Amino acid sequence: MKHYNFDVHGMSKLHLIRYLGNLLEYIPLQTIDVCIIHGYNNGTTLRDYLRKEFSNKRVIEIQNMGAGRTLLRLKTEKEIYHDC
């Protein structure tokens, strides 16, 4: 099982949307969670988007990991192929 951290400080909301779409399409299927480090000192746009608006077929849960981090729990490879 793999875990990844991605720092998205300084990205615009549009850039984050594109980035996450590509990330979740190409990240290894063995990945079980992704920690997005978005910060909060320069605004909460990215945090708010992740926690309130974001959705993806691979994400089964979005967890608040404090003011500057959000955790995306992903479907396992087994769960992905079971859905087909």
User: Token pair for residue 2?
Assistant: 């793999």
CA angle 46, 41, 70 (to 5 degrees): 40
Phi-psi region of 63 (alpha: psi -120 to 50; beta: other; left: phi over 0): beta
Report the relative pairing of strands 2-7 and 31-37 from DSSP bridges: parallel
Tens digit of each residue's pLDDT (9 = 90 or more) over 36-47: 999 988 889 999
Is 20 a residue whose pLDDT tops 90?
A: yes
What's the CATH number where 52 sits? 3.30.1370.110
Whether residue 83 has pLDDT greater than 80 = no
Q: Please give the residue range of the domain that contains residue 56.
A: 2-83
Pair of tokens at residue 35? 């920690």
pLDDT of residue 27: 92
Domain tally for the chain? 1
Is residue 8 scored above 90 in pLDDT? Answer: yes
pLDDT tier, 84 (very low <50, low <70, confident <90, very high otherwise)? low
